[in-house]
Structure 1
Amino acid sequence: MPLVVIGINHRTAPVEIREKVVFAGEELPEALQELTTVPGVRESLIVSTCNRTELYCVTDVDTSILVNWLAGWHELSALHLETGGALYRLRGTAALQHLFSVACGLDSLVLGESQILGQLKDAYRTALSQGVTGPYLNRAMQTAFAVAKRVRTQTRIGANAVSVASAAVSLARTMFERFSDHTALLVGAGETITLVARHLHANGLRRLIVANRSQERAQSLAAEFNGSAIDLDALAAHLPEADIVVSSTASPTPLITLEAVKAAVRARRRKPIFMVDIAVPRDIDSAIAELQDVYLFTIDDLQNVVNENLESRRAAAKDASQMLAAETAQFELQLKTLHAVPAIRQLRDEADMIRDQTAAQARRMLAAGRDPREVLEFLGATLTNRLLHGPIQRLRDAAERGEEHLLETTRALLAADPSE
Structure 2
Amino acid sequence: MQLFAIGINYRTAPVALRERVVFPLEQIKSALQALNATWGSNGLSNPHAGLPAETAILSTCHRTEIYGAALTGNASSMQASMDAGYAQCAARWLSACRQIPFSELTPHLYTLPHSSAVRHVFRVASGLDSMVLGETQILGQLKAAARAALDAGALGAYLNRLFQHSFSAAKAVRGQTQIGAHSVSIASAAVRLAQRIFERLSSQRVLLIGAGSMIEVCAAHFAAQRPHALVIANRTIERSLKLAERTNGRAIALASLPARLHEFDIVVSCTASVLPIIGLGAVERALRARKRRPVLMVDLAMPRDIEAEVAQLQDVFLYTLDDLGAVVQKAHTQRQTAAIQAEAIIETRVERFMRWLDARRGAPAICKLHEEAHRLRSAALARAQQRLACGEDPKAVLEAFSYRLTHTLLHAPTRALTQAQDEERARLVQLFGISA
TM category, shorter: 0.5 to 0.7
Contact 1:5/1:91 (<8 A) preserved: yes
* Residue from 393, 397, 401 that aligns with 1:370: 393
* Residue from 173, 180, 185 that aligns with 1:151: 173
Question: Could you list the per-position Cα deviations for residues 342-374 of structure 1 after superposition, in whole angstroms to 9, with x for gaps in the alignment?
Answer: 2222222333454456567379749958364x3
User: Higher Cα Rg: structure 1 or 2?
Assistant: 1
Matched residue of 1:189: which SS? strand
Aligned ranges 1:69-218 → 2 under 5 Å: 69-82=93-106, 85-163=107-185, 188-190=206-208, 195-198=217-220, 211-212=228-229
Contact 1:366/1:375 (<8 A) preserved: no
Contact 1:33/1:130 (<8 A) preserved: yes
Matched residue of 1:4: which SS? strand
Contact 1:106/1:317 (<8 A) preserved: yes
1:51 counterpart = 2:69:
no
Q: 1:28 to 1:109 in 2, by over 3 A?
A: same
Contact 2:132/2:329 (<8 A) preserved: no
Q: 1:168 to 1:86 in 2, by over 3 A?
A: closer
Matched residue of 1:89: which SS? strand
Rounded to whole Å, the distance in 2 between the matches of 1:131 and 1:99 is: 20
**Count of residues in Structure 1 that have an aligned counterpart in Structure 2:** 325
Contact 2:203/2:227 (<8 A) preserved: yes
Q: 1:408 to 1:36 in 2, by over 3 A?
A: farther
Contact 2:231/2:249 (<8 A) preserved: no
Question: Could you list the per-position Cα deviations for residues 121-140 of structure 1 after superposition, in whole angstroms to 9, with x for gaps in the alignment?
Answer: 11111112222233332221
Matched residue of 2:67: which SS? strand
2:89 maps to a residue whose letter is: I
Contact 1:209/1:229 (<8 A) preserved: no
1:370 maps to a residue whose letter is: D
2:95 maps to a residue whose letter is: A
Matched residue of 1:54: which SS? strand
Rounded to whole Å, the distance in 2 between the matches of 1:307 and 1:250 is: 23
Contact 1:166/1:199 (<8 A) preserved: yes
Rounded to whole Å, the distance in 1 between the matches of 2:329 and 2:117 is: 30
Identical positions, percent:
35
Matched residue of 1:226: which SS? helix
Q: CA deviation at 1:166?
A: 5.6
Rounded to whole Å, the distance in 2 between the matches of 1:116 and 1:105 is: 7
Q: CA deviation at 1:195?
A: 2.7
Q: 1:346 to 1:405 in 2, by over 3 A?
A: farther
1:224 counterpart = 2:246:
no
Contact 2:4/2:112 (<8 A) preserved: yes
Task: Structure 1: state its 5+ residue gaps.
Answer: 170-183, 232-247, 252-279, 283-305
Correspondence for 2:432? 414
Rounded to whole Å, the distance in 2 between the matches of 1:121 and 1:407 is: 49
Question: Could you list the per-position Cα deviations for residues 127-161 of structure 1 after superposition, in whole angstroms to 9, with x for gaps in the alignment?
Answer: 12222233332221221111111111111212444
* Residue from 67, 71, 80 that aligns with 2:91: 67
Matched residue of 2:20: which SS? helix
Correspondence for 2:75? none
Rounded to whole Å, the distance in 2 between the matches of 1:352 and 1:11 is: 55
Contact 1:210/1:221 (<8 A) preserved: no
Query: What's the TM-score, normalizing by structure 2?
Result: 0.61
Contact 1:103/1:148 (<8 A) preserved: yes
* Residue from 388, 393, 399 that aligns with 2:410: 388
Q: CA deviation at 1:408?
A: 8.6
Q: 1:229 to 1:138 in 2, by over 3 A?
A: closer
Rounded to whole Å, the distance in 1 between the matches of 2:347 and 2:230 is: 52
Rounded to whole Å, the distance in 1 between the matches of 2:231 and 2:114 is: 53
2:335 maps to a residue whose letter is: R
Matched residue of 1:105: which SS? coil
Q: 1:137 to 1:20 in 2, by over 3 A?
A: same
Rounded to whole Å, the distance in 1 between the matches of 2:96 and 2:51 is: 16
Question: Could you list the per-position Cα deviations for residues 306-343 of structure 1 after superposition, in whole angstroms to 9, with x for gaps in the alignment?
Answer: 88964443221111111112222222222112222222
1:158 maps to a residue whose letter is: G
Query: What's the TM-score, normalizing by structure 1?
Result: 0.63
2:243 maps to a residue whose letter is: E
Rounded to whole Å, the distance in 1 between the matches of 2:139 and 2:250 is: 37
Q: CA deviation at 1:380?
A: 2.8
Rounded to whole Å, the distance in 1 between the matches of 2:376 and 2:67 is: 44
Rounded to whole Å, the distance in 2 between the matches of 1:404 and 1:134 is: 44
1:49 maps to a residue whose letter is: T
